Amino acid sequence: MSDRIPVILNPAARSTQAAARERAIRSLSPAPELILTSYPGEATEIAERLARENHPLVVAAGGDGTMNEVLQGICRVNEKRPPGEPHTALGVLPVGTMNVFALELGLPSADIAACWQRLSSRRLRQIDLWMANELYFVQLAGVGLDAEIIQETPWERKKRLGPLSYVVSAVQVLGRRPPVLTVKIAGRPDMLGSVVLIGAGRHYGGPVKIFPKADNQDGLLDVLVFRQLGGWEFAQMIRAILERGYETALDLDYLQLSEFTVTAEPAAPYELDGELIQASTPVHFKKAPFALQVAV
Same domain, 45 and 114: yes
Residues with Cβ < 8 Å from 160, sequence gap 6 or more?
none
Residue at 296 is within a domain = no
% of the chain surpassing 90 pLDDT:
63
Same domain, 39 and 164: no
Same domain, 171 and 61: no
| pTM, to two decimals | 0.90
17-31, 220-234, 279-293: least confident range: 220-234
Final residue before a domain boundary, out of 97, 122, 147: 122
Mean pLDDT of the chain: 88
Residue at 173 is within a domain = yes
- Summarised one tens digit per residue, pLDDT across range 79-94 is 999 999 999 999 999 9
Final residue before a domain boundary, out of 54, 87, 122: 122
Q: Please report, for the domain that includes residue 109, its CATH number.
A: 3.40.50.10330
Cα-based distances in Å from 116 to 24, 46, 98, 111, 292: 11, 20, 18, 9, 20
Cβ atoms < 10 Å from Cβ of 152: 17
Q: Which domain holds residue 20?
A: 6-122
Assign 98 a pLDDT band (cuts: 50, 70, 90).
confident
Same domain, 53 and 116: yes
- CA-based Rg of the chain, rounded to a whole angstrom? 19
Same domain, 231 and 174: yes
Cβ atoms < 10 Å from Cβ of 20: 11
Assign 233 a pLDDT band (cuts: 50, 70, 90).
low
Assign 220 a pLDDT band (cuts: 50, 70, 90).
very high
